Structure 1
Amino acid sequence: MFIRQCHRIKNGRRHAYWALVESYRSASGPRQRVVAWLGKLDEAGRLGVHQAAEVLAGSDEVAPGVTADQSQPLSRQMRFEFDDDASAVTPRWVEVNAAGVRVENLRQFGGPWMALHLIRTLQLDTFLSNAIPEGRELVGWDVSSLILIIARLLEPASELFTAEQWYPKTALRDLLGVSEERVNDNRLYRTLDQLLPHKDALETHLKNRLGHLFDLEYDLLMYDVTSTYFEGQAERNPLAQRGYSRDNRSDCKQVCIGLVVSRCGMPLGYKVFAGNTADVTTVEHIVETMEARYGKSDRIWVMDRGMVSEDNIEFLREGGRRYIVGTPKSMLKKFEHELLKEDWTSIRDGLEVKVVPWPGSDDPDESEDCNTSPETFILCRSRDRSKKEEAITQRFEKKIEESLIRMTARCDKQKRDPMKVEREIGRLLGKNTRAAKLFDVKVTKTDDGAARIEWSKIEATRDWATLSSGCYLLRTNVSDWSDEELWKAYIQLTEAEAAFRIHKSDLSIRPIWHQKEDRVLAHIFVCFLAYVLWKTLGQLCSKAGLGDEPRRVLAELSEIRSMDVVLPTRTGPEIRTRCVSKPSDHQQILLEKLSLKLPSKIFQKQM
């Protein structure tokens, strides 16, 4: 480190100032950076700063918050900036004009600082630095990738918004050493292209790292599919197709995303499919992909009824795989006599389960048609789910009944075309499918060619709807678990559903504005990496006794700011130092629970 004289023209006069500068090595060659602006210094002041720099340059201490394996050539200077020990350097006192004290460059610090801590915990920065080859770029693609991931976690938006509006408001320029001038939307777009080829290797790295950090078990794998839609035509993207939209945007093209998570919701990997892909057709591909990457290892696959087909069941059986799957609602009809019995096992208040044999299992011919290998069926009955389903059915039933009464009265008063009336009834039942089977509706033609509506309620169907309300059926070939354990394993599918909700709400994976296929895949990949950070923070919070919901913790720590404190002195020069705001009592408790310590000052480095 050394001090350098700088000059500035102010009011037509040339003023001299001093700066503390450090030389360092980078991938692009030797560089210099300003450590601190010292203002005007007399000879004694320059000598004192020079001596302090020499002493600290010879120290081998590692900066607070930086482990030995993370320490870099910057660590000595970070020690110089972050050290709060007043005895480290002999203080020099000056008189400050209290009326002129001000704060400048207020920036978001807590959120970016927390995100970088999660990245270093996962060794994501090290992986990207080693995986992405260096080029002639001034800012490495690995660092640009971190900017994209952090932005997606903290304030998801377009690359243009991230570069022009969000990044300048954060302390990432100090934490990463990348100035605002070097971050633009074009660089971020090109970063997507550089990041995507490392998807498979990065998923494997994160799975191993997460398993090591949190002692995770991957014996139970939940698989589910969702969709996300496009804004725009996406004509050059073969994956962009119209299909069943979970977002109620059938007017837009979409892609489907299949996600595999562990029993605690930690993501293992995902696959993007064309928007018109049926869920059942994705099972073989995703299972074989995960097994090729992580091995079979006696895993149990858990899927909902949308993934179930006899072909998929046969595929799982042939590979010796174990599974717990939901079944179509229609299969529940075969267990009507079991629903009437009272031999249920209560798991908790309002929830009952029982293991049942396949109906007709005593008949060899019927058993041979349905069960080619040992299977267990678990009937589940939920009181809360029953109340919800009954309320929904009653609402649709009332709507159909009221509409039929009006339509019947209209046909009695007017001579209406029977074909037109039939189409109206078809639309009515199509909009209220939950209760359509409860009605028997006929349209007949009178002698004068007018339409006549005859309708009635089907009591047998109504009775079955009441009996089966809140009930569902599970199917498994796991023979060494109790009915309660099987139900609890299946209910873990809510972790995959929660992952999709977070992707769509907190991480804004939808809508997709990119049009090119690779950019779309890279956008989804960045959202996946941001979700890994989200779940990592959730695990850290859980271990610290803060629950497993990181949303409030991240929001609270994001309120911490960095700023430049400017102190005008009596002799004229201004003392400028970049500090971090003191955390509130609540924030301090969170930091202590997470075993984190904020720096009091920021070491400034620039690229």
Structure 2
Amino acid sequence: MTYLVKQKIRGRTYAYEAENYWDPEKKQSRQKRRYLGVWDEATGHIIPKTAERDVKTTKSLGPAYLLDSVSSEIQLRKKLSESFGEDGDIILAMAMSKLLHQTSLKNLNTVLDDSFLPEMYSLKESFSSQWLSNFLERLATKEKSMNSFYNSLIAGEDETLIFDITSLSSASRNIDWLEWGYNRDGLDLPQVNLGLVLSLHRHLPLYFKLFPGSISDVVTLKNLVAEVKALGISKSLFILDRGFYSENNIKEMNDANIDFIIPLPFSVNVGKGLISETNREIESPANAKRFGGDIFYVLESEIQIGSVDAYGYVLFNKKREGLETNSFYNRLIDIECAIDGKEFRNPIDQFKRTAGNFERYFEYTLEGKKIHLSRRVNAISQAVNRFGKTILLSSSRRNWDEVLSLYRERDEVEKKFDDLKNELEVMPLRVQKVETLQGLLFIFFISLILRAILLRRAREAKLLDKSSIEEILMELSKLRAVKVGGKWRLTEVSKKQRMILEKMEISVPVEANMVIKKGGV
């Protein structure tokens, strides 16, 4: 028969399960003991032992805790849950997993095996490949939920918006929207086009839309204007790349009372006219201005694009002119050195391959299989005449430096596309259905939102001076949760981990169980 034995050692009372037995060799009664744990005098209960063999599992908690903390800045979990119900936490966890490990979502199970995300959001799903495909297809059908989520991001505020479009390529034969078109990455594959809208002031992705691959940039703008208004943005400033320029697009935006800034291509008659008109006077000392430590020569003029009155800003920077001139003539001379006076089996083909888009700057004559080049002086002069110059078109009169500053900020959208294609590993697309693709891109879209907030917070904390986002996440991955005796416990928070969290104004976790999100938001 067993019984309880308590033994006090150095001020603590320990509990043992004891059992008497007869030892035939020593011919006496002896006692077996099994350690149970510490006896709590206050409650009269045993605190169970915590031996190494009781450890069930260990998981990385730090990165998940960081992403959850920064997402609360815009109440991302609440917005997703209100729009998608129980699927909201799954969407958020999947998006976070893309930032924890830059790998395909098909490896989601492996990523979540070592992450505290399933415990944090009480996820019970299998995350198998079949489950994942079904979930993404189902997600794509929730158009009403997606619009609700976009509306919650925008929240009726007036926004300065940046919009751009990129190509996502695939060799899949089952996605109807994969079509041949202008491929911005130079890939010889059919594509779908992805449009992305960002808030300039909040540096936050607000909306994305998928288009068939053959649709050009200018065609997408009309629908975008209507959709942005439907999402509750009553006043907006579109900052667009030159690919969106057309008289029709300018009219569409003007008719919809949408403010815009867009580069004016040199190739259109209005652009040629402005360059020609301003060439002689632009370098006047009276036109010299300073922007970000650089000197710009600036001329402003009222111009008409079709029936629309607008404002043009011709900006000339000598430093940029010098760099562009140097690069241009180096390329020109390299082509001459490689081709001029030399014999080739197919001299014309060789010339075209070598010169590429510089072919327009040369005349050539043939002497047998030998090719001789001469420069087209007028064409070269016309090109050089534009170096260092930019024409920015604005729908309303603004200070020139405000126009330039706003346009330079549109680089933000290029960085987001870079994140999407490279760091989040979207390219090339491996899905087989357009519905799966739409669901997948929505997950990536949430990842972009998280990354945008994380980057801004890390930048404001001056952490990016010495570390990348990936290095910050790697350092925090060492902060782990260990399951001991049925309870999650935190490993010790290191000095560097504490510094990262404190600089980003995030409270240092004290207990793993407190990180677990309860039902509801």
Match of 2:267 among 314, 325, 330: 330
**Alpha carbons 1:538, 1:550 under 8 Å: kept:** no
Whether 1:112 aligns to 2:64 is: yes
**SS of match in other structure, 1:403:** helix
Match of 2:43 in 1: 48
**SS of match in other structure, 1:258:** strand
Q: Using a 3 Å threshold, how does the CA distance of structure 1 residues 240 and 49 change in structure 2: closer, same or farther?
A: farther
Match of 1:150 among 88, 96, 102: 96
Q: Using a 3 Å threshold, how does the CA distance of structure 1 residues 115 and 186 change in structure 2: closer, same or farther?
A: farther
**Alpha carbons 1:238, 1:517 under 8 Å: kept:** yes
Structure 1 position 305, deviation (Å) = 0.8
Match of 1:33 in 2: none
**Alpha carbons 2:162, 2:238 under 8 Å: kept:** yes
Q: Return the alpha-carbon distance in structure 2 between the equivalents of residues 510 and 45 of structure 1.
A: 59
**Alpha carbons 2:196, 2:205 under 8 Å: kept:** yes
Match of 1:317 in 2: 254
Match of 2:348 in 1: 422
Q: Return the alpha-carbon distance in structure 1 between the equivalents of residues 510 and 133 of structure 2.
A: 35
**Alpha carbons 1:353, 1:483 under 8 Å: kept:** no
Match of 1:174 in 2: 119
Task: Give CA-to-partner distance per residue, 1:142-193, whole Å, 9 cap, x none.
Answer: 3332321111222242233111x211111223322336x8332322322223
**SS of match in other structure, 2:279:** helix
**SS of match in other structure, 1:379:** strand
Match of 2:301 in 1: 357
Q: Percent identity?
A: 19
Q: TM-score normalized by structure 2?
A: 0.80
Structure 1 position 269, deviation (Å) = 0.9
**SS of match in other structure, 1:422:** helix
Q: Which amino acid aligns with 1:148?
A: M
Q: Return the alpha-carbon distance in structure 2 between the equivalents of residues 598 and 237 of structure 1.
A: 46
CA RMSD of aligned residues (A): 3.6
Q: Using a 3 Å threshold, how does the CA distance of structure 1 residues 315 and 577 change in structure 2: closer, same or farther?
A: closer
In structure 2, runs of 5+ residues without a counterpart are 1-15, 18-33
Q: Return the alpha-carbon distance in structure 2 between the equivalents of residues 355 and 49 of structure 1.
A: 86
Match of 2:454 in 1: 537
**Alpha carbons 1:218, 1:262 under 8 Å: kept:** no
Match of 2:165 in 1: 225
**SS of match in other structure, 2:336:** helix
Q: Using a 3 Å threshold, how does the CA distance of structure 1 residues 263 and 295 change in structure 2: closer, same or farther?
A: closer
Match of 2:241 among 299, 304, 318: 304
Match of 1:260 in 2: 197
**Alpha carbons 1:305, 1:327 under 8 Å: kept:** yes
Match of 2:432 in 1: 515
**Alpha carbons 1:145, 1:192 under 8 Å: kept:** no
**Alpha carbons 1:218, 1:263 under 8 Å: kept:** no
Match of 1:399 among 334, 359, 363: 334
Q: Using a 3 Å threshold, how does the CA distance of structure 1 residues 142 and 474 change in structure 2: closer, same or farther?
A: closer
Q: Which amino acid aligns with 2:388?
A: G
**SS of match in other structure, 2:267:** helix
Whether 1:201 aligns to 2:124 is: no
Q: Return the alpha-carbon distance in structure 1 between the equivalents of residues 382 and 44 of structure 2.
A: 86
Structure 1 position 116, deviation (Å) = 2.2
Match of 2:390 in 1: 472
Q: Return the alpha-carbon distance in structure 2 between the equivalents of residues 498 and 255 of structure 1.
A: 19
Structure 1 position 454, deviation (Å) = 4.3
Q: Which amino acid aligns with 2:499?
A: I
Q: Return the alpha-carbon distance in structure 1 between the equivalents of residues 146 and 158 of structure 2.
A: 20
Q: Which amino acid aligns with 1:507?
A: L
Structure 1 position 306, deviation (Å) = 0.7
Structure-to-structure mapping, 1:272-287, within 5 angstroms: 272-287=210-225
Match of 1:436 in 2: 359
Match of 2:24 in 1: none
Task: Give CA-to-partner distance per residue, 1:484-508, whole Å, 9 cap, x none.
Answer: 1111111121111111112122222
**SS of match in other structure, 1:276:** coil
Task: Give CA-to-partner distance per residue, 1:107-156, whole Å, 9 cap, x none.
Answer: 221111122223444333334434446xxxxxx53333232111122224
**Alpha carbons 1:141, 1:191 under 8 Å: kept:** no
Q: Which amino acid aligns with 2:115?
A: T
Q: Using a 3 Å threshold, how does the CA distance of structure 1 residues 387 and 190 change in structure 2: closer, same or farther?
A: farther
Task: Give CA-to-partner distance per residue, 1:404-448, whole Å, 9 cap, x none.
Answer: 22xx4427xxxx7xxx5434433333x2x1x3332122448xxxx
Q: Return the alpha-carbon distance in structure 2 between the equivalents of residues 357 and 42 of structure 1.
A: 85
Q: Which amino acid aligns with 2:385?
A: L
Q: Return the alpha-carbon distance in structure 2 between the equivalents of residues 399 and 49 of structure 1.
A: 89
**Alpha carbons 1:151, 1:162 under 8 Å: kept:** yes
**Alpha carbons 2:420, 2:426 under 8 Å: kept:** yes
Q: Return the alpha-carbon distance in structure 2 between the equivalents of residues 542 and 460 of structure 1.
A: 48
Q: Return the alpha-carbon distance in structure 2 between the equivalents of residues 403 and 43 of structure 1.
A: 85
**Alpha carbons 1:229, 1:512 under 8 Å: kept:** yes
Match of 1:482 among 380, 386, 399: 399
Match of 1:185 in 2: 129
Structure-to-structure mapping, 1:359-378, within 5 angstroms: 372-378=307-313
Structure-to-structure mapping, 1:381-400, within 5 angstroms: 381-400=316-335
Q: Which amino acid aligns with 1:253?
A: P
**SS of match in other structure, 1:270:** strand
Q: Which amino acid aligns with 2:362?
A: F
Q: Using a 3 Å threshold, how does the CA distance of structure 1 residues 241 and 585 change in structure 2: closer, same or farther?
A: same
Q: Return the alpha-carbon distance in structure 2 between the equivalents of residues 42 and 580 of structure 1.
A: 21
Q: Which amino acid aligns with 2:506?
A: L
Q: Return the alpha-carbon distance in structure 2 between the equivalents of residues 267 and 49 of structure 1.
A: 57
Structure-to-structure mapping, 1:244-259, within 5 angstroms: 244-250=182-188, 252-259=189-196
Which protein has the bigger strand share? 2
Q: Return the alpha-carbon distance in structure 1 between the equivalents of residues 376 and 401 of structure 2.
A: 36
Match of 1:590 in 2: 500
Q: Return the alpha-carbon distance in structure 1 between the equivalents of residues 483 and 169 of structure 2.
A: 46
**Alpha carbons 1:145, 1:195 under 8 Å: kept:** no
Q: Return the alpha-carbon distance in structure 2 between the equivalents of residues 320 and 345 of structure 1.
A: 33
How many residue pairs are counted as aligned between the two chains?
A: 474
Q: Which amino acid aligns with 1:274?
A: P
Q: Return the alpha-carbon distance in structure 2 between the equivalents of residues 174 and 239 of structure 1.
A: 38
Q: Return the alpha-carbon distance in structure 1 between the equivalents of residues 487 and 319 of structure 2.
A: 59
In structure 1, runs of 5+ residues without a counterpart are 1-15, 18-38, 51-90, 134-139, 212-216, 362-366, 445-449, 567-574
Task: Give CA-to-partner distance per residue, 1:346-403, whole Å, 9 cap, x none.
Answer: 2333341423336xx8xxxxx7xx5533321111223454344334423431332123
